[in-house]
Amino acid sequence: MQCVRIVGGRPLGGSVEIGGSKNAALPILAASILTDERVLLHSVPRLDDVHLMLSILKKLGGDVTLEGNSATVRMGCVSAVPDFSAVCRMRASICLLGPLVARCGEAVLPLPGGCAIGPRPIDLHLKGLQKLGCEVIQSKEGVRLRAKRLNGARIFLAGKNGGTVTGTANMLCAAAIARGTTEIHFAACEPEVVDLCKFLTGMGAKIYGIGSPILTVDGVDSLRGAEHRLIADRIQAGTFALLAPMLRGDMAIKRAPISHCAALLDVLERIGVPFSADGDCLHIFGGKCDRLAAIDVSAMAYPGFPTDLQAALCALATQCCGESAIGERIYENRFGHLVGLRSMGAGITLAGSTARVVGPTKLAAAELSVADLRGGACLCMAALAASGESIVDSVHHMDRGYEQFEEKLRSIGADIMRFER
Ligand code: EPZ
């Protein structure tokens, strides 16, 4: 098992550069299936999930290369059945459903299991694709979709927890080459969905209302190849922005997608963290944070505070004066990181879907176990703030979503070393 040893408790600071967005890369790579022409993507983050998606595309019959942070994909011929062993390892493989059934007339996918943050159903994906004309056959192994021709439809894409990001991506890909017009109501508005819309438009898709919760797609007969630069990763940028005040250090976060971070900046302001924006560089003056104020916020769909930063905010809240209330409205079970924070001495109770964090607490180093990607970042942040040597296990979770995480932390002075246990 891959672990990291972190010796924390020292002020850290410096500059980090943010890479391309994982959650833009994955649906856009899947959307490359929609054309037999060459697709060239830049700012592709070198992450385990991206390598996995590229290998899935290769096994589907594609020519795939990744050089530096540029990927070339040409899906000249495409099988409708991806490598199940690879697909089962990544929830985001669900993004293959729409492109595959649109390109091949059918798609077969194993049911993406639940994970540490909740059951992760796909009922909305299947409902929308059925509306577009797919026959859906579900079994315990997975789901098979068939469609002689996709036809435009009006789709309402919301469930009990609101909209769906990858569900919106699947609808966009299928509707792009369906016959007629599709309206997607309650579409996700995340920047990663907007980036997918821009990529599809570059391929010749006709999409209107981009960035709004009502998208209209006029289907076209075929899509061409395209060249596209992915947006920067707002979750990576937000993780470092929340880390800086914990470490009482000044941080320059370069290539930050500041326009996608309004909710994060609002939280920093309310906590009392001084910052400034200089072009695409976000300066966090963690060294000037003498008193951090408790915060009351809930994670919700964009443009709200992102659920993928909820765990990182819990880590910072341990250093805020008073009782912070951090709610989670997207996932049923996304507080796994509280166990580790409590083991370090944090005063946290969970009331329904709200974590109540009393601070400030001088965190103690501990042996920490990671259950999911964003929980892992939270525990690494806490270990950097705690005096002494902590061990964080299962860091393979981090490799899925944080490009060069250790290198970036070392570049701001962190004492962090990976080892096998
Ligand atoms: C995307 O996941 C992101 N992943 C997640 O990031 C992110 O947390 C999430 O959107 C935010 O909404 C990628 O983009 C690859 P959802 P996604 O479908 O699309 C329920 C990370 O850490 N739902 O928006 O899978 C679902 O249970 C990851 O980078 C249904 O009920 O999330 C959840 O409660 C984690 N039925 C809510 O909607 C469905 O058919 C939002 O899920 C689909 C979803």
Whether residue 150 is found in the same domain as residue 88? yes
Whether residue 344 is found in the same domain as residue 239? yes
Whether residue 225 is found in the same domain as residue 236? no
Tell me how far the alpha carbon of residue 238 lies from the centroid of ligand 1, in angstroms.
18
Tell me if 284 sits within 8 A of 258, measured CB to CB. no
26 lines ligand 1 (CB under 6 A): yes
Structure tokens at 298: 């809930």
Strands 2-8 and 388-392: antiparallel
**Main-chain dihedrals φ then ψ at residue 169, nearest 5 degrees:** -60, -45
CB atoms inside a 10 Å sphere around CB 229: 16
Expressed as residue numbers, the domain containing 26 is 22-229
Residue nearest to atom 44 of ligand 1 (CA): 164
Whether residue 223 is found in the same domain as residue 251? no
114 lines ligand 1 (CB under 6 A): no
Tell me if 45 sits within 8 A of 21, measured CB to CB. yes
Residue nearest to atom 12 of ligand 1 (CA): 165
377 lines ligand 1 (CB under 6 A): no
Counted domains in the chain: 2
Helix (H) or strand (E) holding 87, with range, is: helix 84-87
374 lines ligand 1 (CB under 6 A): yes
Tell me how far the alpha carbon of residue 118 lies from the centroid of ligand 1, in angstroms.
10
Tell me how far the alpha carbon of residue 65 lies from the centroid of ligand 1, in angstroms.
28
96 lines ligand 1 (CB under 6 A): no
Residue nearest to atom 30 of ligand 1 (CA): 121
Using the atom order of ligand 1, give the atom closest to the CA of residue 160.
31
Q: ω before 360 within 30° of 0 (cis)?
A: yes
Tell me if 85 sits within 8 A of 161, measured CB to CB. no
How many angstroms separate the CA atoms of 277 and 287, rounded?
Answer: 17
Structure tokens at 379: 């525990």
SS3 73: strand
Tell me how far the alpha carbon of residue 165 lies from the centroid of ligand 1, in angstroms.
6
90 lines ligand 1 (CB under 6 A): no
128 lines ligand 1 (CB under 6 A): no
Whether residue 7 is found in the same domain as residue 110? no
Q: At what angle do helices 165-176 and 123-131 cross, to 10 degrees?
A: 20
Tell me how far the alpha carbon of residue 124 lies from the centroid of ligand 1, in angstroms.
11
How many angstroms separate the CA atoms of 204 and 153, rounded?
Answer: 20
Q: Which residues contact 213 (CB under 8 A, 6 or more apart)?
A: 163, 185, 186, 187, 188, 189
Amino acid at the residue 140: K
Whether residue 381 is found in the same domain as residue 368? yes
- Residue that is last in its domain, among 195, 211, 229: 229
Long-range contacts of 72-77 (CB under 8 A, 24+ apart): 72/38, 72/39, 72/40, 72/41, 73/29, 73/32, 73/38, 73/39, 73/41, 74/36, 74/37, 74/38, 74/39, 74/225, 75/32, 75/33, 75/35, 75/36, 75/103, 76/36, 77/36
SS3 242: helix
Tell me how far the alpha carbon of residue 356 lies from the centroid of ligand 1, in angstroms.
24
Site to substitute for ligand 1 among 50, 136, 166, most atoms within 8 A of C-beta: 166
Whether residue 8 is found in the same domain as residue 138? no
Q: What is the pLDDT of residues 186-203, one digit of tens each?
A: 999 999 999 999 999 999
User: Which pLDDT does position 112 carry in this prediction?
Assistant: 75
- Residue that is last in its domain, among 229, 255, 290: 229
Helix (H) or strand (E) holding 24, with range, is: helix 22-31
Whether residue 245 is found in the same domain as residue 378? yes
Task: Write out the catalytic residue numbers.
Answer: 115
User: Which pLDDT does position 116 carry in this prediction?
Assistant: 74
pLDDT per residue rounded down to tens, the chain (421 residues)? 999 999 999 889 999 999 999 999 999 999 999 999 999 999 999 999 999 999 999 999 999 999 999 999 999 989 888 898 889 888 899 999 999 999 999 999 998 765 677 777 899 999 999 999 999 999 888 999 999 999 999 999 999 989 999 999 999 999 999 999 999 999 999 999 999 999 999 999 999 999 999 999 999 999 999 999 999 999 999 999 999 999 999 999 999 999 999 999 999 999 999 999 999 999 999 988 889 999 999 999 999 999 999 999 999 999 999 999 999 999 988 999 999 999 999 999 999 999 999 999 999 999 999 989 999 999 999 999 999 999 999 999 999 999 999 999 999 999 999 999 9
How many angstroms separate the CA atoms of 114 and 118, rounded?
Answer: 6
Polymer length of the chain: 421
Whether residue 293 is found in the same domain as residue 178? no
373 lines ligand 1 (CB under 6 A): yes
- Residue that is last in its domain, among 213, 229, 245: 229
Helix ranges, 204-308 (H):
234-246, 262-271
Whether residue 7 is found in the same domain as residue 32? no
Whether residue 29 is found in the same domain as residue 132? yes
Q: ω before 121 within 30° of 0 (cis)?
A: no
Q: What's the Cα-to-Cα distance from 55 to each of 29, 61, 146, rounded to whole Å? A: 11, 10, 24
Whether residue 218 is found in the same domain as residue 293? no
User: Which pLDDT does position 115 carry in this prediction?
Assistant: 67
CATH of residue 302's domain is: 3.65.10.10
Tell me if 236 sits within 8 A of 402, measured CB to CB. yes
User: Which pLDDT does position 113 carry in this prediction?
Assistant: 61
